[in-house]
Structure 1
Amino acid sequence: MTIKKPPSAKRVNKRKAPSSGKGPSTRQTKKEPVQREISAGGIVFRTSGNSILFAMMKDSYGKWTFPKGHVEAGEDIEEAAARETLEELGLQQIRLLDYLGKIDIWFRDKFHKKGQLIHKDIHYYLFQSPVGSELHPDPEEHVYEARWVPLGKVEKASSYPDMVPIVKRALELVKQLRK
């Protein structure tokens, strides 16, 4: 299967920051600086008999999601997606299958630059893990829990609504591969 290249990481989205209505506003004040970030991550699946399982992890906010992280200097987006996915889930091997898409999020940093308004583009890829692969979440990556979730439950297990189109695309591709 051909890997689709993501849109240019240099593209700037000009829409206004949305407000979640919870906690500190994610709206930008007139002179407030916005930090732009590019991240990459992966949705990993494996087979187990006739079942398809997806790797999910609990993030630093206590929500179930998929691994992702910053693209490092000199690293391309696909490499970053694979590296972050391997590191956070503690997997030994994954195979890159396809580009799933990009989500665009705004949030206030609560760890490094507390209160800083962040505008992040996150590129997701579909990976396959070998049969029998075990998850070993890495506390140094702030991942304390990970599990394999059955195909029929993965969409509901994802805690972030903005991930729905990415998860649906992954499910479609995996179902096509099984035909």
Structure 2
Amino acid sequence: MKEISAGGVVYRHREGVTEIQLIQDRYGKMTLPKGKMEPGETIPETALREIREETGIDGRIVAELERIEYQYSHEKRGTIDKEVHYFLVEATGGSLQAQIEEIRGVAWFEPLEAWKRQKQSGYANNDSVLAKALQALRIEVD
């Protein structure tokens, strides 16, 4: 069975400083907003809807970043082939508010702090996604 999700690295420019949004998931890990595609949606529509639902922020897609594929086991549906599409998304409005049913929190971070938190307590498969986003924003990290 195949499952498609989409999400993104959300950024904003505030008072001359670029900030990156990270969420803390229900397991305490730092991650990026994403979620499952609904019937009739395009992949970009899924990404923007999930970002809005999980974080309260509206955005516009600036670029495609990466597609990650992996498998996981579901107790009822068996092996799931998961495909996750990530986009670079510029925040255009809304107000920051975590969807507490699904995540513990959401916050804005300066780019190097976001990178540090990703490396310390994020999922390894998000390293390249965030690195590509920062590169697209012309921000260098180690």
TM bucket normalised to smaller = 0.7 to 0.9
Distance 2:76 2:23 in 1: 24
- Correspondence 1:67 to 2:44: no
Equivalent residue of 1:86, what SS?
A: helix
- Please say which structure displays the higher CA radius of gyration: 1
Are residues 167 and 149 of structure 1, via their aligned partners in 2, closer, same or farther at CA, if it must alter by over 3 Å? Answer: same
Match of 1:57 among 17, 23, 26: 23
Equivalent residue of 2:138, what SS?
A: helix
Contact 1:51 1:151 (C-alpha < 8 Å) held by counterparts: no
Instruction: Name the counterpart of 1:135.
Output: 96
Q: String of CA shifts for 1:60-92, please: whole Å, max 9, x gaps.
A: 22211001011111111000000001110012x
Distance 1:43 1:136 in 2: 16
Distance 2:22 2:12 in 1: 12
Distance 1:50 1:86 in 2: 24
- Detail structure 1 runs of 4+ shifted over 6 Å in the superposition: none
Instruction: Name the counterpart of 1:118.
Output: 80
- Correspondence 1:105 to 2:66: no
Distance 1:73 1:115 in 2: 19
Q: String of CA shifts for 1:105-155, please: whole Å, max 9, x gaps.
A: 22334xxx4684322110001111148x64101123x12211111111222
Distance 2:21 2:76 in 1: 30
Identity of aligned residues (%): 32
Instruction: Name the counterpart of 1:47.
Output: 13
Distance 2:15 2:42 in 1: 34
Q: Which runs of 5+ in 2 are unaligned?
A: none
Are residues 134 and 43 of structure 1, via their aligned partners in 2, closer, same or farther at CA, if it must alter by over 3 Å? Answer: same
Higher relative contact order (CA 8 A, sep 6+): 2
Instruction: Name the counterpart of 1:151.
Output: 111
Q: Which runs of 5+ in 1 are unaligned?
A: 1-34
Q: How many residues align?
A: 136
Structure with the larger strand share? 2
Distance 1:156 1:117 in 2: 33
The aligned amino acid for 1:156 is K
Moved more, 98-107 or 80-89: 98-107
Are residues 108 and 60 of structure 1, via their aligned partners in 2, closer, same or farther at CA, if it must alter by over 3 Å? Answer: farther
TM-score (norm 1): 0.69
TM-score (norm 2): 0.86
- Correspondence 1:163 to 2:126: yes
